[in-house]
């Protein structure tokens, strides 16, 4: 479980990131979840933009994403910040020091 301070730290790290993934009209598919997981396995943190023509509500998208062991750290407008820990990375984000 991630604490509030850890979420704040992750949001501050994600502030300068640009969205690298878009969710469109059809919502999110199984292949897109795999792509998200692969990206997060390599970088741990990412932003995803939800296009205006997306028919699914952000709450449904968040539920689908979180069902696949990906943490949704923040939803601002149409932008999600996602996190998935990978301790095998050389420059892994260390949340253990933040209590």
pLDDT band per the 50, 70, 90 thresholds, residue 1: confident
Residue 93, token pair as written in the block: 């984000």
Residue 64, token pair as written in the block: 């689908």
Has residue 91 got a pLDDT over 80? yes
Secondary structure (3-state) at 11: helix
51 CA to centre of own chain: 16
Encode pLDDT of 13-54 as tens digits. Answer: 999 999 999 999 999 999 999 999 999 999 999 999 999 999
Nearest to 7 by CA among 74, 56, 70, 75: 74
């Amino acid at each position: 479980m991630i604490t509030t301070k850890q979420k704040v730290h992750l949001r501050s790290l994600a502030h300068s990131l640009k969205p690298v993934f878009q969710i469109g009209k059809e919502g999110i598919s199984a292949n897109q979840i795999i792509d998200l997981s692969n990206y997060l396995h390599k970088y741990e943190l990412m932003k995803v933009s939800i296009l205006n023509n997306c028919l699914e509500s952000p709450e449904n998208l968040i539920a689908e994403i979180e069902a696949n062991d990906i943490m949704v750290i923040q939803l601002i407008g149409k932008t999600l910040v996602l996190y998935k820990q990978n301790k095998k990375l050389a420059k892994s984000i260390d949340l253990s020091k933040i209590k």
